[in-house]
Structure formats: structure tokens, C-alpha cells
Structure 1
Amino acid sequence: MNTPPSPPAAERTDGSAVLIGALAPLTRPGWAEAGRHLLAGLELAVRDVNDAGGIGGRPLELVVRDTAADPGKAAAAVDELARLGVAAVAGEYHSVVARAAAARADALGVPFLCSSAVLDALTEQPTEWVARLCPPQSRGWRIYADFLLGEGHRRIAVAAQPSVYWESGTRILRDHLDPRGGTVVELDMGALTPEAVCDELVAHRATALLLLVGHPEPAVPIVRSVRRDRRLAEVTIGAPAGQPEFAEWADLLGGDGAGVPFLRYLPESPTPLGARVATDLRERLAGAPSFVAFEGYDTIAVLADVLRAHGTDRAGIAASWPRVAVEGTRGEVRFSRTPGVSAWQWAGPPVQVVDRDPERPDHFRVRHTG
């Protein structure tokens, strides 16, 4: 989904819209359902901003580009959006794609507020141009590792595909679990079939299998194979990257997809704004909104506040990150520097480990908070 190109800022009148570039995976091989939720949150927030008078009387307008999980496509989109005169770029879900977008935004001097991509190092060096709302992978996945330990798991297998994101996740898990008596065994999904994964779990006496793979392939066939193997009846399947959050997971797996813990970035109790936005998002999405939709809404809420206070100058927007204090749907957003994270980081997003209730797979259970 691409919006028609907008004329460059130099061709606009004083009363024209303030443009925000929006990146999201809206087609395969991107995680299109996540992209749809992200875009729904972005669009709802833009509507609310414009209903409240816009930015100094000027409407806010999204210029949407589909990244389709392609880093090259994302970098090219940032180039195009910069030429179109956007005040900032926002969004993206896939970490490797967001990293390409962040690097290009940093090089061009375009502010980029990343909504949902958790890879710690979004840029090679610390940057003033990039800020992020979701927690860094090192924080979320350590919390997930603590959950596994608390559940008594010490022999943990990871079914992984080649990716900077999955490799980073495996390293975080191993570094956190090894000193605490845990063992991480890597299963190469470039070499194993789902049935062979089952044999490896038995051979390694693993009590938990984590899916560090794409969805629906090969995640769904792996889950089906493990669920149907009587030798593995007591094995916990986990998906820290959040695959079970979305309706497609439940549609494809039914009851087999329940009881698979994943990371979700929502508070235990919604804020008043969060409760109101949840109702509007449910109507817009014709179903329950994921945490990604709330990340999208908060992205625009932050950018609108910055634009009202500091104008549309790109350097001024980037310089404002450390002064942000915005009430979002999941708490007050403030950015700071976090060791090992190259972007300005919201240090306080809530982190939960959640699964679908085996008794009611359309309902979620909070298993752990961090």
C-alpha cells in the first residue's frame, strides 16, 4: 500500500499539511498483520491530532510506504520521503528493516521515531536522529529468560533461522541463562525439518523450545509437529518475538497455538487514554488490537507533541528527544541514553510474558511481568 506521492515542501503553501513518513510491512514476505496493526495505530493518532486542531492549525498527514520486510526497500523509502519534505519518519516493525531505515535517516539528517523494532543497535554508532518506543531486545529477552528459569526450565532449545535479529536473541538468552544454570541448544532450521526438530528435542532432553523463525513458515509446521509428538507432551513451546499475539496464529493453529508464551509490551492496567484508544482500535481493526497498534498510536502522539513545541525543522525535532514528556497509551514517554543502545530510548515501556489461554485461546494470560 503506497499513498500517492506528495509534492515537495518547497511547492507547498503555508496552510499545507505537515508530513510524516510512515514505514510498515504491509505485504509478504513482511509480517503484514503486524504492519496493519501498526498502521492502524498511526492513522488513529493522526485522526485524533487533526480533530484537536492539527499542528498549529495545519493538518498532520501520513505518507505511507510498504517495506515488505526488505531493508533495501526501507532505505529507498527514507530517501524518497526525505525528498518529499517529511518532517520525520516513523514506524517499522522488523528489526533488520528498521536498522536500514535508521542508518539512512541518520545519514540524511531526518528524524526517525522507531515504533516496534527491538534490535539494540539500530545504528552502528550513537545517533541524535533516531529515537525508539519499544524496549531494546536485551531488556525484553532477559525478562523472557527469567520467566523460563522461574518455570523451572534449564535445558532450552532454540529453533533458529539465519538473521541478525535471531542471532542477537540467541546470544542474549545464552548470556543470561548460562550463569544461572541454564543451557541453550541451537537447532539450525536451515538444515532440519519440523519432524527432525522433535528428534533433536528428545536427544537433548530439552524442556522448552523457542521459535526464532518466521511466521507462518516454518513456525506453524514446527508447532504442529511438536504438539503431535507424544514424546514431547511436557515440552513448552515459546515465541519471544510475539508470533502468537496476532489472529493469524490462532486461525492457523487453533488450540495447538495456545500456551505459547511471548513478549508483549502492554501494562497490567490500561491508562485512561489507553482504554479509549483500545476501543477505537478495536473498531478500526474489527478485532482486538495488538501491542503494536498501541506503539503506532504513541509514535504519533510523541511526534505531534514535538512538532507543536519545536516546529517542523528536522534538526529541532532531533534535538528535542531528551526533552520529550508525553502521556501515551501505556504510560509517560521519556527518552534517555541506555548503555549499548545507539538510539534515544524510552526506558519505561511495560514488558509482559503472555500466552493464549488453553481453555479460551482467544483470551490472553499474563504469565510474568518485568
Structure 2
Amino acid sequence: MSTPPSPPETAQADGSPVRIGALVPLTRPGWVEAGRHLLAGLELAVDEVNDAGGIGGRPLDLVVRDTAADPLRAAAAVDELARLGVAALAGEYHSVVARAAAARADALGLPFLCSSAVLDTLTDRPTDQVARLAPAQSHGWRIYADHLLGAGHHRIAVAAEPSVYWASGTRILRDHLTPRGGTVVELDMRTLTAADVCDALAGSGATALLLLVGAPEPAVPLVRAVRRDQRLTDVLIGAPAGQPEFPGWVDALGEDGAAIPFLRYLPERLGPLGTRVGSALRERLATAPSFVAFEGYDTVTVLADVLRAHGTDRVRTAASWPRVAVEGTRGRIRFSRVPGIGVLQWAWAPVQVVDRDPARPDRFRVLHSG
């Protein structure tokens, strides 16, 4: 059972800030590029909220904590932020880390709007404290599997590291592909080198290799090895978790990083709000914003709307998730209960399968939408 939430808000005649805790991977082994984009979106939205008068005249303040992809560090950060009196939590990119943060937030009665993590089982039990913007892994990865089938790939190899997230992805792919005539071949990255993967792949009959591994290591060496192996010239490399989304991928691999399909959560065309925010994010980041940056912006947009409408009391914030109806950068955001998912879920953010164009690796091609 959850512990009692913080005391109800009191009138703040002094204009003291309304604080939101932000969980972001900003140092290794966290995916630092993703963290930088997520934080840019969060900060841009906070600046715009404050330019528009804040929350009832009070400034919105983002209290950032680096999770470094460490679940224990994230749980400790949730405890600290709760003691600091934040009205809600936002952010986190890594699914396993977000899962630890969600469990702790639920126990403390602290509302948490998860920006980017996709693991279906974000909590072990249904909770009213946690809502999520990113599509559940099962939703996005089934769309990805449909793209593979549509492109003629029925025997799929997965090079997977050990984690709850990668194991969940492998299971989703197998459960979706097998009834449709597909086969999944698992390659265990605990024991295989990049050369071993190439040898196994050459003898497997697989026409696609999916990278269920971290970036840049070991994803980048795997791509290089497969691209240079003459036996594998017709094998598609795929990365459903989105490793090629960020500029560091092209910096590391150049042309070798192109034509690798991945999932991203953007519409084919942004509306007026998304276009304006995209321009502002590009200026902040000095590069094209990823979908993760838009997720960060939408997170604060939703929280600011909730806090304006219902105040900063944590009980009222959590109770308000089902009543959210906010125009975000990628569509209208509402939360609902989805079977098999214990948190309040936006069902769904737009999903695309894209890759980088071999002719221009800085440009994306939309291959499939779901």
C-alpha cells in the first residue's frame, strides 16, 4: 500500500516555485545522447510555461537528477525528490530504470509521468500514480515485426544482451512472428563476439539481424563486422530500440549506419505546434531533434496543464490522469487503461519504422507507419 502523500498544497503568496523532479540519463553507462535530447525538451517546455505566467503565477522549476542508467540510483533520486517536495516526477529514457523509479514513486504516492520508457510491465501491479507517454513495447515492436514480414523477412536473428527489456523484446517478436510463419533465432551476446555473430548468422539462414544491444558498444562493432562480411551482404540489419536515431550513430558509422530500420514515435508530418517546437529544439540542440526531445516537451506540457487545473497536491495530480486532454507536439494526449499495462497510458503516440537514407545518412526515410 502506498504511504501517505505529501500534505495538500497551501497558498503561496511569495511566488515560490512549483518543482517537478526530472529523471534523465546524463552520464555513462546511460544513453547520454538520449538524455540530452530528453532534457532539452523538458527545459524548453518549462521555459515556455514560465514565459506564459507559470503555474498560477508561480514559476515552474525543474529539479534534474542524473540516473546514469542505474535503477538503484534512480530509486534513490525519487526518494530525494519526494523529500524536496516536488509536485510530480517526469522523464527517464531507460525502461529498466523507469521501472525502478515507477515502483518507488508508487510506494511514496508521488505522481510520475514517464516520458520515454516503453517496457509493458513498468509496474508489477496496476497503479494510479504513474502515467506514460511512450507507446508500450508490445505495441511498437509488433508494428516493427509487421514491417519485417512485409519486406519478406521471415527468419530473423536477434543479437541480444541480457536484460528484462531485451528479453521482453525477443518474446514480443517471437509471439508475433511465429503464428505468421516467422522464426526467431537468438544469438547470446554474453558469449559471442562480433565475429562469432557473423559466423552464426552465415549459417542460420536468417535474412535479418536485429540489434538488441546497447549503443555504441556493442552495436557499432556489430554493424561494422556484418557490413564487412561478404557472406552477409544481403542480410538486413535492424534496430527496433532506436539506436540509429541520434547523430552519434552517424558519427561512429558513417554510411554503414544507414539502411538500418528502427522505431521512432513521430507523425509523418508535424502540426503547427510540433513544427514550432521542433525549430526551437533544433536551435537548443544544434542538431535535428529526436522523438525523445518531443517526448520531453510533451511531458512538461501535460504536467503544467494538470497543475494549473488541479493544483500541486499529489493526490489530485494522480487522480487527474484519466481527465487529461492536452494538445501535444505529436497529437492530442489522453490517458486510459490498456489491458496488460498497469499504468495510465497514452494509446497511442504515432509510431513509424524509419531508416537513414544511404544517399544522405543525415536524412530519414519513413518505411512503415502504425
TM-score (norm 2): 0.97
The one-letter code of the counterpart of 1:292 is V
Question: Alignment length, in residue pairs?
Answer: 361
Q: State the 1:13 CA deviation.
A: 6.4
Question: Which string of whole-angstrom CA distances, capped at 9 and with x for unpartnered residues, describes residues 102-138 of structure 1?
Answer: 0000000000000000000111000000000000000
Q: State the 1:15 CA deviation.
A: 1.2
CA distance in 1, matches of 2:97, 2:13: 34
Equivalent position SS for 1:335: coil
Aligned to 1:66: 66
Instruction: Give the 5 Å matches for 1:174-193.
Output: 174-193=174-193
- Unaligned 5+ runs, structure 1: 1-8
CA distance in 1, matches of 2:281, 2:339: 34
Aligned to 1:245: 245
Equivalent position SS for 2:131: strand
Instruction: Give the 5 Å matches for 1:131-280.
Output: 131-280=131-280
The one-letter code of the counterpart of 2:326 is V
The one-letter code of the counterpart of 2:59 is P
The one-letter code of the counterpart of 1:225 is A
The one-letter code of the counterpart of 2:240 is P
Q: State the 1:348 CA deviation.
A: 2.3
The one-letter code of the counterpart of 2:297 is Y
Question: Which string of whole-angstrom CA distances, capped at 9 and with x for unpartnered residues, describes residues 52-97 of structure 1?
Answer: 1100000000000000000000000000000000000000000000
Cα RMSD of the aligned pairs, angstroms, is 0.9
The one-letter code of the counterpart of 1:43 is E
Aligned to 1:282: 282
Instruction: Give the 5 Å matches for 1:87-98.
Output: 87-98=87-98
CA distance in 2, matches of 1:330, 1:162: 33
Equivalent position SS for 1:275: helix
Aligned to 1:310: 310
Instruction: Give the 5 Å matches for 1:11-22.
Output: 14-22=14-22
Equivalent position SS for 2:166: helix
The answer as to 2:329 corresponding to 1:329 is yes
Aligned to 1:102: 102
Q: State the 1:271 CA deviation.
A: 1.4
Equivalent position SS for 1:353: strand
Aligned to 2:3: none
Aligned to 2:76: 76
Aligned to 1:25: 25
Give runs of ≥4 in structure 1 deviating > 4 Å.
none
Aligned to 1:86: 86
CA distance in 2, matches of 1:47, 1:117: 24
Q: State the 1:202 CA deviation.
A: 1.1
Question: Which string of whole-angstrom CA distances, capped at 9 and with x for unpartnered residues, describes residues 217-253 of structure 1?
Answer: 1000000000000110010000000000000000000
Question: Percent identity at matched positions?
Answer: 78
The answer as to 2:115 corresponding to 1:115 is yes
Aligned to 1:4: none
CA distance in 2, matches of 1:264, 1:122: 19
CA distance in 1, matches of 2:118, 2:271: 23
Instruction: Give the 5 Å matches for 1:328-347.
Output: 328-347=328-347
CA distance in 1, matches of 2:335, 2:276: 24
CA distance in 1, matches of 2:188, 2:65: 33
CA distance in 2, matches of 1:320, 1:88: 12
- Unaligned 5+ runs, structure 2: 1-8
Question: Which string of whole-angstrom CA distances, capped at 9 and with x for unpartnered residues, describes residues 239-293 of structure 1?
Answer: 0000000000000000000000000000011011000000000000000000000
TM-score (norm 1): 0.97
Q: State the 1:312 CA deviation.
A: 0.1
Equivalent position SS for 1:217: coil
The one-letter code of the counterpart of 2:242 is G
Equivalent position SS for 2:301: helix
The one-letter code of the counterpart of 1:217 is E
Aligned to 2:37: 37
Q: State the 1:14 CA deviation.
A: 3.9
CA distance in 2, matches of 1:13, 1:211: 54
The one-letter code of the counterpart of 1:145 is A
Equivalent position SS for 1:170: helix
Equivalent position SS for 1:355: strand
Equivalent position SS for 1:125: coil
Aligned to 2:4: none
CA distance in 1, matches of 2:143, 2:189: 25
CA distance in 2, matches of 1:14, 1:106: 31
Aligned to 1:6: none
CA distance in 1, matches of 2:41, 2:249: 21
